[in-house]
Amino acid sequence: MTLAISISQYIQKLRDGEFSSEEFVAKTLERINKVEKNLHAFISINENAIEQAKQIDKKIKAKEKVGSCFGMPISIKDNICTKGMKTTCASKMLEDFVAPYDATVVSKLKLEDAIIIGKANLDEFAMGSTTEYSYFGPSRNPWNTDYVPGGSSGGSGVSVSALECIASLGSDTGGSVRSPASFCSVVGLKPTYGLISRYGLVSFANSIEQIGPLARTVEDVAFILNIIAGRDSHDNTTIESGAPDYTKEIDIGVSGKKIGIISEMVGEGVDKDVQSATKHAISTFEKLGAECIPISLDSAQHSVAAYYTLASAEASSNLARFDNLRYGFDFSVEGYEYNSYISKVRNNLGPEVTRRMLLGTFVLSAGYYGKYYQKAQKVRSLIKSQLVESFKKVDLLLAPTMPILPFKIGEKIDDPLKIYLLDINTIIANLSGIPAISVPFAMADGLPIGIQLFANSLQEKQLLQSAYALQKTTKLPEVPI
C-alpha cells in the first residue's frame, strides 16, 4: 500500500477494498513514527486515530451512511481548535490548552468522517514565515532537512509533502498557507476573506486571516474546500458564496483566459531560478491557450509595510487575552500583584510575538496612529482598488509564490525584516481579501518552486481550474524522505 495517493484515489481504493481506513491510518502513523524525528511536522498526534478509523470501517461494512472523507487522515494546524485535543499555537502560553469545542472547519471535516491525525507545527501564534519561531522547535523541509519548510503553517506543508497525512488545514494571514506550499512542493489555497469560517481559529489578525487547505493536488484542495466553505452563524464575517462545487469542471482549461503577470513581482529581488520557472509557467499558460500580459501593481511595493503595521496592531490587541491564569504553564500567583504576574509570565512569549506586540502598540499609540496605522489602512484600500481595476482587464494574476528558494534553518532568524520581506508576493491577497493559490511547478538544486495565481473575490472556481491546468503540465520528483 502506498501513502502517495490523492483523495480521489484514496476513496476509490477504499471502496474497492484494497485497504480499510484502519490500515491506511495505521500505515500513516507508522510513517509519522519513522520520519518525525527528522521533520517535526507535528506538535501532537491523535492517540485515538486507529479507534476512530475502526468505527468508520464498521459503518462502511454495515453499509451505513458514511461521510465523503471515508476516514482519511488530515492534519490540522495547531492554532485551530480541536475538541479534547491540545491546541497550543506553538506557544508556552498555551502548552496545556485543551480546546473545549471544535472549530467549525474541524466539525465539518469530522461530519464527513475525516480523521484528525494530529496537530501541525507552526510559528508561535502563526507569526513567522519559516516555522522557526515555534516554542517546540522548528519543522524541517522534507526536500532537504537543513532547510526551512516555509511558514507559518510549516507543519501542515511538511505533513502533506512527506506523506504523513492526505491533506491539511493551515491559516494564511500574510502567506502562511502558500509559503509552506511553495517550499514543500504541495498545493495551498488562501480563499476569499469570509468564504471559510474562522470560528475556533485562535485570533491573530482578524481582518486579514483565513483558514485554507493544503494538499498534494489541486483537485484535493477543491475537495476539501467543498467541505469547509460556507456561512457560519458563529462567524459574522463569513459571506454567501452560492456554494459552488469546486471539483466540477476543474479540467475545463485556460483557453481564452487573460492572465496578468504582476511586473513588480517578477523582476528585481527575485532569485534567478524562480524567475526562469516563472517565465516557463507563463509560456506554459500561453501554450495552453491563455493570453499573458504584463500588469503593473505599484501599490504592491508598500504591501509589506502596510501589512506588518496592520497585522501587528491587531496582534497586539488580540494577544492581550493571554495571562496564563485560565490556561498555560505552571506558575503560581502566590506573592505577585496582578501587573507583575502578567508581565512575568508573558516574558515566556517568543521573540517574534514580543516584537509584533511592541510594533503593534507603537503604531497605534497617540502621535503615531495617523502616520502608520491609518496610512496603512489607506494603502490597503489602494491595493484593493488597483486589484479591482486589474481584474477588469484580466481573469487572473500570476507571480511566483516566494521570491527566493527555501533557505537554511537559522540563516535569517536574526534579521526579522528580511523574513517579513519574504511575504512580498503573497500579502496583497490578504490585505485585499482576494483568493490565491500556490501550485508546485519546478525544482532548482533539489528545492521546490511554487507558482501563485490570484483571482477576483469568490472566483475560487476559476482559480482552481487554472491551477489544475498548470499542474497537469508538470512532472515533479517524489519527495526524497
- 125 near another protein, judged by CB under 8 A: no
- 372 near another protein, judged by CB under 8 A: yes
Give the Cα separation of 170 and 7 in Å (integer). 18
- Count residues binding another protein (CB under 8 A): 64
103 versus 481: smaller Cβ distance to another protein: 103
27 versus 83: smaller Cβ distance to another protein: 83
Candidates 41, 158, 160, 379: give the one binding another protein (CB under 8 A): 379
Is 77 marked active-site? yes
CB contact at 8 A, 98 and 105: no
Scanning the structure block, which residue is given the C-alpha cell 498555551?
Answer: 94
432 versus 465: smaller Cβ distance to another protein: 432
Is 283 marked active-site? no
Give the Cα separation of 72 and 116 in Å (integer). 8
* Residue 264 vs residues 285, 310, 395, 464: alpha-carbon distances, Å: 20, 22, 18, 24
* Residue 229 vs residues 223, 245, 318: alpha-carbon distances, Å: 10, 10, 25
Catalytic residue among 20, 171, 176, 241: 176
Scanning the structure block, which residue is given the C-alpha cell 482578524?
Answer: 206
16 versus 414: smaller Cβ distance to another protein: 414
Is 182 marked active-site? no
Candidates 382, 404, 413, 443: give the one binding another protein (CB under 8 A): 382
Stretch that binds another protein, among 32-40, 148-156, 287-295, 354-362 (CB under 8 A): 354-362
Give the Cα separation of 347 and 77 in Å (integer). 24
Candidates 11, 305, 413, 444: give the one binding another protein (CB under 8 A): 305
Give the Cα separation of 275 and 407 in Å (integer). 17
For 20, the grid coordinates are: 480499510
261 versus 357: smaller Cβ distance to another protein: 357
DSSP 171-223: EESSSTTHHHHHHHT-EEEEPPTTSB--TTBPPS-TTT-EEEEEESSHHHHHH
Interface mask (CB under 8 A) for another protein, residues 251-290, using x and -?
Answer: ----------------------------------------
CB contact at 8 A, 25 and 49: yes
- 63 near another protein, judged by CB under 8 A: no
Stretch that binds another protein, among 31-39, 57-65, 146-154, 361-369 (CB under 8 A): 361-369
Give the Cα separation of 212 and 191 in Å (integer). 6
Q: Which of residues 426-465 bind another protein (CB under 8 A)?
A: 431-433
34 versus 371: smaller Cβ distance to another protein: 371
159 versus 459: smaller Cβ distance to another protein: 459
Q: In what order do the strands lie in the sheet with 167-172?
A: 42-45, 115-120, 73-77, 167-172, 210-215, 187-190, 436-444, 447-455, 396-400, 258-262, 291-295
The one-character DSSP state at 311 is: H
Q: Which of residues 313-352 bind another protein (CB under 8 A)?
A: 316, 320, 325-328, 333, 336-344, 346-347, 349, 351
- 306 near another protein, judged by CB under 8 A: yes
Q: Which of residues 226-245 bind another protein (CB under 8 A)?
A: 233, 236-237
Give the Cα separation of 104 and 92 in Å (integer). 25
Catalytic residue among 152, 316, 390, 438: 152
52 versus 192: smaller Cβ distance to another protein: 192
- 199 near another protein, judged by CB under 8 A: no
Least distance CB 198 / another protein (angstroms): 13
Catalytic residue among 20, 21, 77, 316: 77
Scanning the structure block, which residue is given the C-alpha cell 471502496?
Answer: 15
Geometric angle at alpha carbon 390, from 207 and 425, rounded to 5°: 55
Which amino acid is it at 446? Answer: G
Candidates 77, 140, 380, 461: give the one binding another protein (CB under 8 A): 380
In 3D space, the residue among 464, 456, 23 whose CA is nearest the CA of residue 260 turns out to be 456
- 388 near another protein, judged by CB under 8 A: no
Among all residues, which ones are annotated catalytic?
A: 77, 152, 176
Contacts to another protein by CB under 8 A: 96-98, 100-101, 193-194, 233, 236-237, 299, 302, 304-306, 308-309, 316, 320, 325-328, 333, 336-344, 346-347, 349, 351, 354-355, 357-359, 361-363, 365, 371-372, 375-382, 384-385, 416-417, 420, 431-433
